[in-house]
Structure 1
């Protein structure tokens, strides 16, 4: 037994020796290549470099003085906000990463963040954390109604600016943490550290459905239904809480959605089964469900489809998508359609806002 172990060890050492020799030759070959390729590096600089430091740009080295911080000081400033029962919303601008125009991109950021800033002034107990085209909004459970009110106000402004936002809404924990180093941090450092079950659930819910809508789970739907009597919509088996039933907001939301859908379908290769088409179509389905008088959105849809300069093929795709009877449905709504078409200024703005989206 001892002899076998000895032979195994000897072989093991022998293999290591061979491997080391091969490694040494490989390193020599690498150094030879480096000498041939990097002729501009001086011989003195080459001698300074070792096998453990061959990269041209070295890592940063820390300089300066260190300061002792007592643990009690860290604890006092560690937990910044703690909400054991919170409502958390995660929102982001749809199509932002596909925008091709810098002006459109910067305008979208301002249009997205502005209404949230106004809401923050109005509701000081609600936390608004906005970064780029995303935002986390959180509040204690007792302020859940105010939070929806703030989000609905923002929606009315987003709709009027043609900014489509999708979100997830969840109930769970929310915590913000701080560091004792933050007060002394330089101006070029910005940190926002937060976590919780409400945060992760809201993020997952945001991506669970198609459309510029606010998606929620069973727990959140039950809470808002029982506590506030809020109607909960179901779209593609996903629960949705209403943005707003304001007619003016739904006019912009539905009108811009339809015009962008027609524009998208007029591009060769795009069809009604694409993710973007589904999102825009779901925006319209929500608008039809949320409005108090369904004829308001339905007649608006028919009026837009009556515009003379629409791409005929794209128009037909939308008519088929909505199962519209042409011309019967248009004839039955003729008076309402003409009333819409007489609003030339509003329709002109609708078309401008629809065309401003450079992500299509």
Structure 2
């Protein structure tokens, strides 16, 4: 790719000279960490649970990350209009499949979030709702801002869609996913310049919803109580994770030399950051943190020169989702917030999660590409 000339007018040539290569490099570095960390943590987990092969999770994640990289690259070729169309189709498909989880989904730990599909295996449709809803909501809010007297029509639609998604996630239940989608929606409403009183009111509804969830959902109440009163609950995973960070120190104990992953149930997924801390130390943890921060800040900087409100809102929502998910995972591992089963983007093990994140980052790369004229957007 480095040999491509600026005069190259092929699809690949135009993509290479218009895509944000710094963001792409940061994302691919995170994918590289994903390969490294699943190699470090997954065999121990597979051995502990008696999987058919010690390398089962590693082999699967190699395939998932390869698929994710392909999805991200392919989607980044789209024009903003193409992103809008794909997101709308993806949102409708994910919505139907999320409804299906409530009817025929596999129940795990009291929640129905997964479908067991032929050939595909386990699928969590709500993961795909996050990036697709961010784009669809951005499109509708932008339409509302440009609609004049009939602005209420797209507002009714987008608020109705958000409410429907919120009800579905509440029924699963998946409060963490609902929190992320709500935060993304509120961020987009704020960026759109909506009256602060409206934003505050919506935020108040969200806070009230969290209080309601505390009293309605036993598992949510249990996690909050274990965080607020650790001496009265079982905080085994968090305690082991903190021990892992302490054992790793500044430089870590060395790749493959960690011991906590052999007793940490979700070492390859929700608590992979603790494995990073033990084996690679504080410096590599900070590097990963900086990579996530770089993607978010770089993306926001690219939007400063953007004039299309739809692009601004969609990219802002995707960046909010990406940064917030990374923060929730790392902060949970460090016991800074209540534990939440949310993966670290591209680093944690997971099929639905990593491919959905790749879809969202493909959307972001497509939206933040340099576009000199409408003609350069192409038919997609």
Greater Rg over alpha carbons, structure: 1
TM range (shorter): under 0.3
TM-score, length-normalised on structure 2? 0.24
TM-score (norm 1): 0.25
